[in-house]
């Protein structure tokens, strides 16, 4: 395993950003920024032995700061949406920052994606840590958080650990946008399988209504492999309301999902201990400049955000995101890469 690090410029408030690069013996590599504990690139071999960067990203820190989309970032304290930015915990109502219309999204106006994290090299990867103060974006409790990103045996693993000094809520994920063709064109041709029998229905704001329905006979049915593009523009409400996929699968087992590119031959397998996974197909991404002179835009990438269900704190019948004071929160997600020859 080979480590390098280099300056990645300064933020708008003059803070230094560092990029860490991990390279394995087979040539697979990952680049990770301490800004947002953001995965900037993952480079893997395709079916012809050529190295392909399967992640969308930018060349400069200013683009990460100013562009929307949370590309590659660690998001929290609560990933996804909370309706009206409100929840009640231990009889106290908390009002969070509103940054998605009248709702709270991905931790608020200054979420974890906008922090400069402390970073240190560990075996096969980099450990990032930070402290979110009590009251941060409206959340209770001082939260100490560690995110360790490692590269081993053809896989990227993200391990999350957190502890709070007060009861709080937590829902962490990584917001990487994958394109197994190397960022060329849209992701409609990617073949997807999801280990899920049901999903949470969205309203017009892409928030769950509270209803859980079977995937059968809907555009959300990926129990057998089919292309992402096959039903993305159908009249099915699960895709029509959000202009494509932006919905939470209730996971049924392991692996959570498998994605294959017929063009590159690259296969990505997702495993996690989380109960849900949001599939997002970059429906609102405007055309923009990416890394190394590339351009990308609407549906150029897909996200597989492993997490608790959106707005689950307001649905007590669902798996709970409550983290009790001084209890340790742990979760992981692995993205493993292989090749169909």
- CA separation for the pair 84, 103 (Å, rounded): 4
Beta carbons of 333 and 322 less than 8 angstroms apart:
no
Q: Which residue is listed with tokens 């996690």?
A: 272
Q: Is 175 part of the annotated catalytic residue set?
A: yes
Beta carbons of 231 and 238 less than 8 angstroms apart:
no
**Among 283, 304, 197, which Cα is nearest to 232's?**
283
The Cα-based distances of 324 to 139, 162, 163, 275 in angstroms read 13, 11, 9, 19
From the list 305, 308, 317, 327, the catalytic residue is 305
Q: Is 31 part of the annotated catalytic residue set?
A: no
- CA separation for the pair 285, 73 (Å, rounded): 16
Beta carbons of 218 and 201 less than 8 angstroms apart:
no
The Cα-based distances of 83 to 87, 94, 110, 147 in angstroms read 8, 12, 18, 27
- CA separation for the pair 315, 309 (Å, rounded): 9
From the list 104, 106, 137, 175, the catalytic residue is 175
Active site residues: 175, 305
């Amino acid at each position: 395993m080979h480590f390098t690090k280099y300056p990645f410029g300064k933020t708008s408030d003059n803070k230094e950003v560092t990029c860490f690069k991990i390279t394995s013996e087979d040539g697979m590599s990952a680049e990770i920024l301490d800004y947002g504990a953001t995965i900037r690139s993952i480079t893997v071999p395709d079916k012809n032995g050529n190295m392909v960067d399967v992640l969308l990203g930018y060349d400069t820190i200013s683009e990460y700061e100013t562009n929307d989309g949370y590309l590659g970032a660690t998001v929290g304290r609560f990933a996804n949406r909370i309706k009206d930015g409100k929840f009640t915990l231990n009889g106290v109502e908390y009002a969070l920052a509103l940054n998605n219309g009248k709702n709270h999204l991905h931790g608020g106006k200054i979420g974890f994606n906008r922090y400069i994290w402390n970073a240190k090299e560990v075996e096969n990867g980099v450990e990032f840590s930070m402290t979110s103060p009590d009251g941060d974006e409206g959340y209770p409790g001082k939260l100490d958080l560690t995110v360790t990103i490692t590269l081993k045996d053809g896989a990227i693993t993200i391990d999350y650990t957190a502890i709070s000094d007060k009861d709080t809520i937590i829902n962490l994920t990584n917001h990487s946008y994958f394109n197994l063709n190397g960022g060329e064109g849209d992701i409609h041709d990617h073949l997807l399988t999801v280990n899920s029998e049901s999903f949470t229905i969205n309203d017009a704001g892409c928030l769950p209504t509270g209803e859980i329905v079977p995937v059968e006979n809907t555009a959300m049915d990926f129990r057998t492999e089919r292309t992402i593009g096959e039903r993305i523009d159908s009249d099915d409400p699960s895709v029509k309301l959000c202009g494509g996929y932006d919905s939470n699968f209730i996971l049924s087992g392991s692996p959570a999902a498998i994605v294959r590119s017929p063009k590159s031959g690259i296969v990505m397998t997702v495993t996690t201990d989380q109960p849900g996974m949001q599939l997002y197909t970059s429906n609102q991404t405007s055309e923009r400049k990416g890394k190394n002179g590339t351009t990308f835009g609407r549906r150029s990438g897909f996200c597989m955000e492993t997490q608790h269900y959106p707005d689950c704190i307001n649905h007590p019948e669902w798996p709970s995101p409550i983290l009790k004071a001084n209890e340790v929160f742990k979760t992981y997600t692995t993205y493993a890469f292989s090749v169909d020859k």
